């Protein structure tokens, strides 16, 4: 069983949910004093579990992957006639006044919990719990650095969606703070990441213990520094019209492209991360060709694929995953639990083919159908094309029995990276892949998606290195893995490579925004089927929103006029 089940349940016991109606309120540690709690390594582990627990959001529209992919130009709303909210988000309408409130509330829960660790751990004495003072200091450095990273992560999550937000960097900071500017928000993110990099030990990936899989480290912080740099400088230059190649720091000064490249060079040389030998081996469908000795995905078997798994260098299943650097870890849930479905990967459930249960692809809600434009312009010689997209009606892909009349915005193309996967067990019963792998008792197809969502992988590090440095080496390393010839560097070539390598991974929308391409990304008139009827579909993007979503209306009311709503959402 995946470790996540223990850690998330523990977080639920130790940390309250933080969803009260007070202005920017975040609940404290339940039944534990801030003055005495952070005194043992176990206390820190429990507190850190609460920090990570804030990644999960009860409302599916606050799920990062779902929100970002619905807004991207390469995925449509989809679903069925009742799934109006998916269609509204895809068409840049706000389906409810608090569509993204869970994203806001949970991010601040994570921020305050991380701040508690940052403030309280420094003064703690852990020497009696370790064999040497050096080991105790290493633990402390990792805890503080990890909390700094997670605070930056949550502010970055807020900043990319909402723009400038209120900054809480001390436990006693007032909760009625006004929104900081976009630049002030990103300066705090950059400072937290810089200090996290300087604080955390430089432990190469193969030496990181299995108990730390899913946790951030120095290398993850370096990679996110590059992502933050690219988003901030791109947004300011292309959306705000204030050209810059510097990322500001909260304490003054800034980081240049040279500074960020130096961090990436260190990561590439010393982290131990590397590309998987085959792009398709990153995704769990590549396991199915060897599942229980049965061939259920012939094309994968013909290509000799073998899933690397999602448990690092000491895998439970697969051959070892050196490419995934940071992921949102998922497990299973149960309807009897409070929020029992938020720890299963709902992006995979909602992306899965609507009302069609086949082997190896199970059923789901049919959201985020794929724009045929992507499929049609993609080179057939690129194995990432069929490695990313399910074609229906294809016997060799297991989709010959597909019924096209079950969903809306149906294009015959679905997300293969994150989808429902299933095969027959030894008794001949079709069950979910992860249910069988982890021997989970509840086989409900809505709760069976224990596939981690990859937030950062090494391929993106190489692509960001090329983009920031203006050189082709990283980009061509990614292309070589796909069996493609090298190309000279250009921004257009880099954009194309990111589209194909990182499709449906929650990054395309933010790439469009930071490149200033979002205003012209939605000009297609797309042929779709809506519950069996032929139709035309076109998205209407509103340029006045500048790529931001609305501040939740509940937060606007609780602020008593302190917040100003984002442009285009009044």
- Sequential DSSP letters for 281-312: GGSGGGGGGGGGG--S-HHHHHTT-----SST
Residues 50 and 161 in one domain: yes
Residues 315 and 180 in one domain: no
Strand 247-248, strand 254-255: pairing: antiparallel
Residues 139 and 222 in one domain: yes
Alpha helices in 72-132 (DSSP H): 84-90, 101-121
Confidence at residue 342, expressed as pLDDT on a 0 to 100 scale: 86
Taking only Cα atoms into account, the Rg of the chain, rounded to an integer number of angstroms, comes to: 23
Q: How far apart are the first and last CA of the chain?
A: 47
Residues 261 and 366 in one domain: no
Which three-class secondary structure string do you get for 353-399?
EECCCCCCECEECCECCECHHHHHHCCCCCCHHHHHEEECCCHHHCC
The residues, ordered by sequence, that sit 6+ positions from 567 with a Cβ below 8 Å of its Cβ are 544, 545, 546, 548
Confidence at residue 294, expressed as pLDDT on a 0 to 100 scale: 65
Average pLDDT over residues 543-561: 95
* Residue 549, phi-psi category: left (phi > 0), alpha (psi -120 to 50), beta (remainder): beta
Residues 233 and 289 in one domain: no
Confidence at residue 319, expressed as pLDDT on a 0 to 100 scale: 79
Domain with 47 in it: what CATH number? 1.25.40.390
Question: Is 82 inside any structural domain?
Answer: no
Nearest-CA neighbor of 219 among 205, 234, 231? 205
Average pLDDT over residues 248-277: 98
Question: Is 535 inside any structural domain?
Answer: no
Residues 408 and 445 in one domain: yes
Q: Each residue of 185-241: pLDDT tens digit?
A: 999 999 999 999 999 999 999 888 877 888 999 999 999 999 999 999 999 999 999
User: Which H or E element spans position 142?
Assistant: helix 133-162
Q: Find the range with the poorest average confidence among 129-133, 156-160, 329-333.
A: 329-333
Q: The tokens of 14 are what? A: 């130790």
pLDDT band at 1 (very low <50, low <70, confident <90, very high): very low
Q: Is the dihedral of CA 210, 335, 154, 121 positive or negative?
A: negative
Confidence at residue 339, expressed as pLDDT on a 0 to 100 scale: 67
Residues 285 and 178 in one domain: no
Q: The tokens of 468 are what? A: 């920031």
pTM as predicted: 0.94
Across 187-226, the runs of DSSP E, i.e. the strands, are none
Whether 252 has a pLDDT exceeding 60, the answer reads: yes
Average pLDDT over residues 331-345: 80
The number of folded domains in the chain is: 3
Residues 384 and 449 in one domain: yes
Q: Find the range with the poorest average confidence among 272-276, 332-336, 348-352, 564-568.
A: 332-336
Residues 216 and 131 in one domain: yes
Buried b / exposed e over 4-35, threshold 16 CB at 10 Å, is bbebbeebbebbbbbeeeebbbbebbeeeeee
Last residue of a domain, one of 455, 479, 511: 455
Confidence at residue 360, expressed as pLDDT on a 0 to 100 scale: 92
Question: Is 84 inside any structural domain?
Answer: no
Q: How far apart are CA 227 and CA 70, in angstroms?
A: 21
Whether 242 has a pLDDT exceeding 80, the answer reads: yes
The residues, ordered by sequence, that sit 6+ positions from 291 with a Cβ below 8 Å of its Cβ are 423, 433, 436
Q: Each residue of 308-326: pLDDT tens digit?
A: 998 887 777 777 899 999 9
Question: Is 103 inside any structural domain?
Answer: yes
Question: Is 121 inside any structural domain?
Answer: yes
Whether 243 has a pLDDT exceeding 90, the answer reads: yes
Question: Is 492 inside any structural domain?
Answer: yes
Confidence at residue 20, expressed as pLDDT on a 0 to 100 scale: 40
Residues 253 and 291 in one domain: no
Query: What is the DSSP secondary-structure string of 408-449?
Result: SSB-SEEESSSS-BEEE-TTS-EEEHHHHHTT-S---TTS--
Q: Each residue of 364-415: pLDDT tens digit?
A: 999 999 999 999 999 999 999 999 999 999 998 889 999 988 999 999 999 9
Confidence at residue 459, expressed as pLDDT on a 0 to 100 scale: 98
546: helix, strand or coil: coil
Whether 18 has a pLDDT exceeding 70, the answer reads: no
Domain, as residue range, for 236:
4-59+98-270
Q: The tokens of 6 are what? A: 């223990």
The residue whose two tokens read 């909602």 is 350
Q: Each residue of 277-299: pLDDT tens digit?
A: 999 999 999 987 766 666 678 78
Question: Is 439 inside any structural domain?
Answer: yes
Strand 533-537, strand 363-364: pairing: unpaired
Average pLDDT over residues 447-474: 97
The residues, ordered by sequence, that sit 6+ positions from 464 with a Cβ below 8 Å of its Cβ are 223, 226, 227, 230, 264, 474
Instruction: Report the Cα 513 to chain-centroid distance in Å.
Output: 17
Nearest-CA neighbor of 444 among 332, 325, 297? 332
The residues, ordered by sequence, that sit 6+ positions from 382 with a Cβ below 8 Å of its Cβ are 482, 483, 484, 500
Q: How far apart are CA 555 and CA 175, in angstroms?
A: 12
Rounded to 10 degrees, the C-alpha dihedral 302/353/95/157 comes to -30
The residue whose two tokens read 């605070």 is 151
Average pLDDT over residues 297-302: 82
32 compared with 120, residue with greater pLDDT: 120
Strand 363-364, strand 353-354: pairing: parallel
Residues 206 and 331 in one domain: no
Average pLDDT over residues 402-430: 93
Last residue of a domain, one of 411, 429, 455: 455
Confidence at residue 9, expressed as pLDDT on a 0 to 100 scale: 34
Q: Each residue of 37-71: pLDDT tens digit?
A: 899 999 999 999 999 999 999 999 999 999 999 99
Residues 131 and 248 in one domain: yes
pLDDT band at 11 (very low <50, low <70, confident <90, very high): very low
Q: How far apart are CA 146 and CA 143, in angstroms?
A: 5
Question: Is 410 inside any structural domain?
Answer: yes
Last residue of a domain, one of 455, 486, 501: 455
Q: Each residue of 115-155: pLDDT tens digit?
A: 999 999 988 999 999 999 999 999 999 999 999 999 999 99
């Amino acid at each position: 069983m995946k470790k996540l089940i223990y850690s998330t349940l523990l977080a639920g016991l130790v940390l309250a949910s933080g969803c009260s109606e007070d202005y920017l309120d975040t609940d404290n540690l339940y039944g534990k004093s801030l003055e005495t709690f952070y005194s043992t390594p176990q206390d820190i582990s429990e507190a850190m579990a609460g920090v990570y627990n804030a990644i999960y959001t009860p409302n599916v529209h606050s799920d990062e992957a779902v929100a970002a992919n619905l807004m991207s130009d390469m995925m449509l709303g989809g679903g069925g006639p009742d799934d109006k909210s998916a269609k509204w988000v895809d068409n840049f309408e706000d389906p409810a006044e608090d569509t993204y409130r869970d994203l806001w509330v949970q991010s601040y829960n994570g921020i305050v919990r991380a701040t508690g660790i940052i403030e309280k751990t420094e003064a703690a004495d852990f020497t009696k719990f370790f064999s040497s003072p050096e080991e105790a200091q290493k633990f402390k450095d990792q805890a503080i650095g990890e909390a700094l990273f997670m605070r930056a992560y949550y502010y970055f999550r807020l900043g990319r969606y909402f723009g400038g937000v209120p900054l809480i960097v001390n436990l006693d900071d007032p909760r009625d703070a006004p929104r900081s500017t976009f630049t002030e928000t990103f300066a705090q993110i950059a400072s937290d990441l810089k200090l996290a990099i300087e604080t955390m030990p430089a432990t190469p990936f193969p030496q990181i213990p299995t108990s730390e899989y899913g946790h951030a480290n120095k290398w993850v912080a370096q990679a996110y520094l590059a992502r933050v740099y690219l988003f901030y400088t791109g947004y300011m230059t292309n959306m705000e019209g204030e050209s810059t190649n510097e990322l500001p720091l909260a304490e003054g000064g800034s980081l240049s492209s040279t500074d960020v490249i130096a961090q990436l060079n260190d990561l590439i040389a010393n982290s131990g991360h590397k590309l998987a030998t085959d792009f398709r081996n990153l995704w769990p469908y590549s396991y199915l060709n060897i599942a229980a000795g049965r061939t259920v995905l012939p094309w994968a078997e013909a290509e000799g694929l073998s899933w690397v798994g999602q448990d690092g260098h000491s895998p439970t299943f697969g051959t070892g995953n050196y490419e995934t650097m940071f992921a949102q870890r998922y497990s299973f849930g149960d309807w009897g639990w409070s929020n029992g479905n938020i720890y299963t990967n709902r992006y995979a459930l909602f992306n899965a083919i609507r009302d069609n249960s086949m082997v190896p692809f199970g059923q789901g809600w049919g959201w985020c159908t794929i724009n045929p434009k992507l499929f049609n312009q993609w080179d057939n010689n690129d194995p990432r094309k069929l490695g990313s997209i399910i074609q229906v009606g294809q016997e060799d892909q297991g989709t010959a029995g597909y019924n096209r009349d079950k969903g809306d915005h149906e294009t015959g193309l679905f997300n293969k990276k994150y989808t429902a996967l299933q095969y027959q067990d030894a008794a001949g019963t079709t069950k979910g892949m992860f249910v069988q792998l982890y021997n989970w008792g509840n086989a409900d197809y809505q709760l069976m998606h224990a596939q981690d969502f990859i937030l950062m992988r090494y391929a993106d590090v190489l692509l960001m290195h090329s983009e920031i440095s203006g050189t082709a080496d990283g980009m061509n390393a990614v292309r070589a893995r796909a069996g493609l010839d090298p190309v000279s560097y250009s921004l257009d070539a880099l954009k194309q490579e990111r589209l194909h390598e990182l499709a449906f991974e929650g990054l395309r929308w933010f790439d469009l925004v930071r490149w200033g391409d979002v205003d012209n990304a939605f000009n297609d008139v797309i042929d779709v089927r809506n519950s069996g009827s032929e139709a035309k579909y076109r998205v209407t993007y509103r340029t006045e929103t500048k790529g931001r979503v609305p501040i939740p209306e509940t937060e606007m009311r609780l602020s008593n006029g302190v917040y100003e709503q984002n442009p285009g959402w009044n």
